[in-house]
Amino acid sequence: MSHIFEVIYTSSQELLQEGERDLGVLAATEGTPPKFLEGISLHRSFPTSELTAESKGGEVAHKFLFRKIDGFLHLVQVNYAGADHTGRDKPYSHEVIFDQESTQKCIAPVKLAADYQNRLQWCNRLTDPKWLQPKQLPHVEKTSSEECLKTAVTLLGKDRLVAILDVLTLRKHDEFITVILPIDDWSDSIYRIVDVVLQCLPPHLQHGVMAQPGDVGSVPDDVKLVIAPTDSHFSRQVKSSSRPVIDLSSKNHRSINLQEPSPDGYGHQFVVEERLVLRSLWEFFDLEGVEGVKDSKHILRQEEVKNLDFKQRLEACSTSLVDVSNKKVQKHLGSEFASLLQNNIPSDCLPVCLKAIQATFREPEAAVQKLLSHCKEDLIKHNGPLNPVVRDALLKWLFSNSDAAQVPKSILKAHFETVPHPLREKVARQIAPTNSPDWITISWGHEKTGSESYVKRAANLLISRVQPDAEAVSSPAVRRLVQKALNTEKYWEDSLRRRVVTNRNVYEFDRYLMSFNITSSSQKPIWWPRGQSRVNSSGLTGSTFDRSVVTTRSSSGVSGVKEAILSVIPDSTLARFGLYGILVLAISSAVGLGISLAFQTQDDVANDQSKNSSMSNTRFELVKLQDDVKQKRKTLDPILTIEDYNAAWQFLIDETKQNNKLVGVVIATGISQPPKYTCPSLSEIEDLINSKSIVGFTLSDGKLNPVDGRHATWGLKKKPPMNESNQQESTPEAKGA
């Protein structure tokens, strides 16, 4: 059941709600929803800018609004009714609200609204609170488009009508047209103009009009046609601006700032081209705004090509189908398109058809398959370049049907870049299966797929496959794959997999990783065994370690470092940590000089001499230290800074404690300078040395002397008294420096 509600809002001593007074609802139709009675609406007020202290009720031009708010059409007329019971201005607002159902039922809301005009006059006389009786919907005859157009053109002229219809249909933000009317015939003129203009539009667009004397203030966004009287504040203001104005106040109608209408716009097509069917089309498809203009153009185009040949119809329909946004129009064109697809499609129409199918069909695969099934053989054999849309669709379909297996891999690889992105992983897996023995191929597959599952498979390879050849090792792509595989944490969380690795000879695995320049602990996976307890001792006997592979590198010029260290460190320890990048810090705090030493294997030298892998090993460690401490990279310098020294100490202690693992060998000389460094406490150092976690040396006469933990003189408290000459003697590297 449709509803039309009336609300009268004014200032009164008594209102409809008992106990209320002043501004409020005086009368309303029985059954009016409370939200229309409670809410304070902007349109219930009267513009006060034109009022003076002498203004009398009924003498001031009224305000008129025809808006759609929250889905309800509101027809509002607000009169100035003089002074109220408090001796101040009194607005008298009569509001007619059409609900959505009644809007749909009535053929033209504006005709219905015009019927209420007489009632508005009657309501002005109502002064006591009252519930109004519901009113029957009046019978309204539909006016034909031809009739509407004729009347409107006669009243306004073609150009002006086009402009008004355009702005009312396009509904662009902050755009409206102002029509200036003479004040003498204000009320009748408004209805005349609104009636003829709005009737040219489909019913659902028959709103967005405001007629107001005086200052309008800010025009609401949905109001597209503002009617103002001559010489009002607003009309003066708008005339001096760049907004379009139609001045109907004089005999010679004048247009200001009216722009050339778009030939695709509603106004031009309805008025100039006289496509009178447009009004019905807009109504039927519920078209609105800029999208409506575009959609209506496509519908009209469809009507035009109906009598043309199949190819043109197909092209027009497919193009429109992709472009339209209204669902009803899409459905309409979709059914037309589906009927066209029943025929054989010429190959040059394929791209546009495929686009249309992909854009509009809910399950486009079936339709594409059906379309391509007619011409699949031709397309595969096609020598020249295929249209990208057709090629993509074809590939997608082929892969979905496992037909791609028929295509040679070399061809697929060569054209890989043309494969649509969603399909690439599948194609890449076909070209480079993870069980391939070729490292280069697998790394290519990894690069192209970028998928996690692929990397997991590659991680398996890392464990079980053969050693990579020289080409694979030097390939950056392979290195990236290995690095990625090591860091696939979720994969390694599986304890079974970890056991596979740890049960293998760790040393062997280390060498394996060394092939890829992965030597520092920071690069290795976090689960990699770091302590004795986690290492299978059976694979770590001294016999597996060849001392001859170890060389040392010293920047201090101290000789015999290697021999001295090796003589102290037992074989078992070297086997455990030998190639892990032992950091040697030789500290002579007298001059703040540090010597960085690192072990390197002969393999390192052979494989990567130019990069000086031993130094880079050391750098890894120090960079890690610095990152931890300072969060910035710093190239290793032979002279250690205080921060490096402190950080190194901290690192040694932390690592040793946490992992129960030897990471460093500390060489120290007598410390003669006043304390500059944050040394660990004596007890801490002694503990470390006693537990053989750190091996200590002192440096005297250019030779390293191992320090027994029990008699170590670490730290500051037990330093021997030294004079200046002693100090220089005991720190020969200082001289060198």
Residues making contact with other proteins (CB under 8 A)? 11, 13, 19-24, 35, 38-49, 51-57, 69-70, 82-91, 173-174, 215-221
Nearer to other proteins, 71 or 385 (CB): 71
Nearer to other proteins, 65 or 513 (CB): 65
- Nearest distance, CB of residue 41 and other proteins, angstroms: 6
- Nearest distance, CB of residue 613 and other proteins, angstroms: 41
Nearer to other proteins, 89 or 729 (CB): 89
What is the rounded distance in angstroms from the CA atom of residue 175 to the CA atom of residue 332? 32
Read off the DSSP letter of residue 469: -
- Nearest distance, CB of residue 258 and other proteins, angstroms: 18
Nearer to other proteins, 14 or 115 (CB): 14
What is the rounded distance in angstroms from the CA atom of residue 589 to the CA atom of residue 273? 97
Amino acid (1-letter code) at residue 665 = V
Q: In Å, how far from its chain's centre is CA 469?
A: 43
Nearer to other proteins, 43 or 457 (CB): 43
Q: Cα dihedral angle (491, 492, 494, 496), rounded to 10 degrees?
A: 120
- Nearest distance, CB of residue 219 and other proteins, angstroms: 7
- Nearest distance, CB of residue 553 and other proteins, angstroms: 46
Nearer to other proteins, 71 or 437 (CB): 71
- Nearest distance, CB of residue 218 and other proteins, angstroms: 5
End-to-end CA distance of the chain: 102
H/E stretch holding 98:
strand 89-98
- Nearest distance, CB of residue 175 and other proteins, angstroms: 8
- Nearest distance, CB of residue 225 and other proteins, angstroms: 15
Nearer to other proteins, 39 or 263 (CB): 39
Give CB contacts under 8 A, 24+ apart, made by 214-218.
Answer: 214/47, 214/48, 214/49, 214/50, 214/51, 215/47, 215/49, 215/50, 216/47, 217/47
Helix axes of 476-486 and 439-449: crossing angle, nearest 10 degrees: 70
Amino acid (1-letter code) at residue 658 = Q
Nearer to other proteins, 41 or 728 (CB): 41
What is the rounded distance in angstroms from the CA atom of residue 374 to the CA atom of residue 396? 16
Instruction: With beta carbons less than 8 A apart as the criterion, state whether 424 and 415 touch.
Output: no
Nearer to other proteins, 242 or 343 (CB): 242
- Nearest distance, CB of residue 169 and other proteins, angstroms: 19
Give CB contacts under 8 A, 24+ apart, made by 420-425.
Answer: 420/392, 420/395, 420/396, 422/396, 423/395, 423/396, 423/399, 424/448, 424/449, 425/449, 425/450, 425/451, 425/454
- Nearest distance, CB of residue 37 and other proteins, angstroms: 11
- Nearest distance, CB of residue 89 and other proteins, angstroms: 4
Nearer to other proteins, 44 or 298 (CB): 44
What is the rounded distance in angstroms from the CA atom of residue 737 to the CA atom of residue 735? 5
Read off the DSSP letter of residue 677: S
- CA dihedral over 405, 408, 409, 414, signed as positive or negative: negative
Nearer to other proteins, 286 or 603 (CB): 286
Backbone angles phi, psi at 16, to 5 degrees: -65, -40
- Nearest distance, CB of residue 329 and other proteins, angstroms: 23
Nearer to other proteins, 173 or 711 (CB): 173
- Nearest distance, CB of residue 84 and other proteins, angstroms: 8
Nearer to other proteins, 69 or 256 (CB): 69
What is the rounded distance in angstroms from the CA atom of residue 414 to the CA atom of residue 422? 18
How far, in Å, are 522, 699, 701, 702, 705 from residue 669 at the CA level?
30, 5, 11, 11, 10
H/E stretch holding 310:
helix 310-323
What is the rounded distance in angstroms from the CA atom of residue 737 to the CA atom of residue 723? 20
- Nearest distance, CB of residue 13 and other proteins, angstroms: 8
What is the rounded distance in angstroms from the CA atom of residue 450 to the CA atom of residue 488? 12
Instruction: With beta carbons less than 8 A apart as the criterion, state whether 47 and 216 touch.
Output: yes
Instruction: With beta carbons less than 8 A apart as the criterion, state whether 662 and 575 touch.
Output: no
- Tell me the two tokens of residue 567: 């003589």
The b-or-e profile of 69-80 (16+ CB within 10 A means b, else e) is beebbbbbbbbb
Q: Count of CB atoms within 10 A of residue 531's CB?
A: 11
- Nearest distance, CB of residue 244 and other proteins, angstroms: 14
Nearer to other proteins, 38 or 452 (CB): 38
DSSP assignment string, 705-731: EE--GGG---TTTTPPP--HHHHHHH-
Nearer to other proteins, 235 or 521 (CB): 235
- Nearest distance, CB of residue 257 and other proteins, angstroms: 14
What is the rounded distance in angstroms from the CA atom of residue 517 to the CA atom of residue 511? 10
Among 563, 485, 574, 575, smallest CA distance to 524 is for 485
Nearer to other proteins, 243 or 413 (CB): 243
Contacts of 171 (CB under 8 A, 6+ apart): 208, 222, 224, 288, 289, 290
- Nearest distance, CB of residue 159 and other proteins, angstroms: 23
- Nearest distance, CB of residue 46 and other proteins, angstroms: 7
Nearer to other proteins, 86 or 312 (CB): 86
Nearer to other proteins, 233 or 294 (CB): 233
Among 98, 74, 114, 100, smallest CA distance to 286 is for 100
